[in-house]
Structure 1
Amino acid sequence: MFFLLYFSFSTDIQEVGDYDYQDYIGTNKPALVKFYNPSCPHCFAMADEFWQVTEMFDDVNFVAIDCITHKNLCVNEFNIEKYPSVAIFMPNSLTPIKFEGYMGADEFAKFVKEKTNIEPRKIPKLFYEVTPNNFEAWKDSKKCAVGIFYSSLFEHHKKFLYEARMVAKAFQNEENVTIGIIRCDKFRPLCKPVNDLGYPVAARWTNANYVPFNDMAIANLLVLDINDNCDTHRRIDGFLEENVGRIEAAKPFVKEFIETKDPEERSKIIEKTKEVPGASFYVKVMNRIIKEGDEKIIQTINKMHHMITDPHVNAKNRDFTNKNFNVFKEFYPNYIPPTQNQESNENTANMEQHQSEKSEQKEL
């Protein structure tokens, strides 16, 4: 059983096409781009290596282009002749510099460093490496221990590890979950529990009790299984689920609030919301919307979105902000996060406004 592979499942890799590629290629950052065919076996094998290199750089855009869907873009615009292909685009340039050589994460990292002088960082370990010596301690160490069983002898198992890493990354800061990899070609006795299922495959120990993962080993289903059984609330991208931080009993008042602009009506809604247990943050949001207006609140939501997608932010702070973000989004259900270019333009505008205000103060 294999994980269903999505070439840009990670939020670190932007899937682009004819109309939006310039949001990530030709910007003020270099862009490492993979050109692929969804049915190409070599593309499957390379996907995990490309995903790993996204963990090594912050100041590089990582982009994927499906060259079957966007053939004209790949062939005519960028002169791509084979799949998979990888190329780097320097800042403010739409001219690809093609990668030549073995398609591995370390090789991609060296290529990026050589062209941009940006130093790669070491990838944090997402998996606990399970051996006969530490197996018992590992499966008893947390409420849920999820085992990823695979063989390093088979090239096609790389596509399994590609999504397994995404699941591991999503839960890396969870206190209830540990995810380990078990090499069945090296430690065959450890793989006896899954021999009937075959591998690559995943299995779970909940409170040290073995539970086979009987569904097809698809990343989304594995995330759902962990959430259902391990007291977690994660999405595949590592964000908290949208319901986290929200209060069901407050929803009718949110609906009433956003449907009216009448100040008196909104004041009545706020008073009713105060009576909902645990809804004090909803009251704060309502008061801020009245005081600051929609435009300023959207800027606040953009800042929160930037914070929860910033890999440097402390995990606890990110989750706290994510809960607040979820509540704010209830009031703006059609909210769309800004693209990288929009975010950059907004930051520039804010800096210019700040400098202008400082100049005015000096003149005064």
Structure 2
Amino acid sequence: MKYSISLRSALVGTVGLLKLVSASSVIDLDPSNFDQYVGGSKPALVEFFAPWCGHCKNLAPVYEQLADAFDPSKVVIAKTDADGEGRDLGQRYGVQGFPTLKWFPAGSTEPVDYSGGRDLDSLANFVSKESGVKSRIKPPAPPIAVQLDSSNFDDIALDPTKDVLVAFTAPWCGHCKSMKPAYEIVAKAFAAETNCIVAQIDADAEDNKPIAARYEVRSFPTIKFFPKGNGEPIAYSSGRSEAQFVEFLNEHCGTSRDASGLLSTQAGKVLALDEFASTFFSASLPDRPEILNKARDYLVSTFGSAKKEANTTAEYYVKAMERMLSKGEGWLVKEQARIAGLLASPSLAPTKLDELKIKANILSSFVAKKAEEVYEEAADVVKGATESVESFAEKVKDEL
């Protein structure tokens, strides 16, 4: 008997817990309680649904979030089964399809049809606008992609000194919403590239429609690349993942970034100076000054009149050679370790990260040839050992 009572208590407790966990903030209406919630001192949004309706099932989790987003003492978020207990209510308000959403102002049983989007933001914005009650939804972070409109489109997208990728989107477009996270990641990754801009425009906004028409935008999202020099825009037809956007921008902007925003392992490197660097590191000490002088001559002849950034980057090859001549090869190991430690710091400014990454890339050029020589030596040893074993095996075989 004690066991039965304990089991019953446990079942009652479990059922109570399940009810608590599954409690909904959406008020269920039927003809018996409709007047209690609708037409009183609080405005109400009512969903007329049917249990078998696929669109209603898709809306259900969003509608629950909507109810949680508003203070129930100020706004009523409710629903009624207009194909079941609430059939009479559905007929009273002329419901002909599911789901139907109607807004009842405070003190009124004469509703206004809701015809906006069924995403959380659209619903919450409607309720806030009609009721004057702020939702509990935290505002989204400001977009990272440069925002274009009719007032700044030509100044940014058609800037002859910049490459600009433009996504023509619409707020209601599902594909645009699906693309947005990847597009924002890429915009953040290229934020340090002042001449390679990742931008977006609401092409369905009334003021921006003439721009969309100018570039024959007929669907969303449409993505176009505007190259520097005011050339004709290029239609973007690759995929919409971070990696695919990054690959496209690196190819068309001449950049060297990955989706995290870091420069690639080739950024800042100069092929001819790579060869000088690896030859310098592999050479004997007496031969290194001559190689350094050749690198200096190449630097002057090639970058003497080039832009400052390229010249500064190339100069680091020569500076590294000078440091190794005066301080020995140990300087290279210490400098690589120092830079690696700084690159791991989360507080560095993007420009400083770029500078350090380029230095790390250049320093890696010094050991490349040496590593190749070590590998070749190791391969020769393995090959020689293998040949010796095979020779010994043949000898043993002949003796047997």
TM range (shorter): 0.3 to 0.5
User: Which has the higher relative contact order, 1 or 2, with Cα contacts under 8 A spaced 6 or more apart?
Assistant: 1
Structure ranking higher in helix proportion: 2
- Give the greater-gyration-radius structure (CA): 2
Q: What is the TM-score normalised by the length of structure 2?
A: 0.43
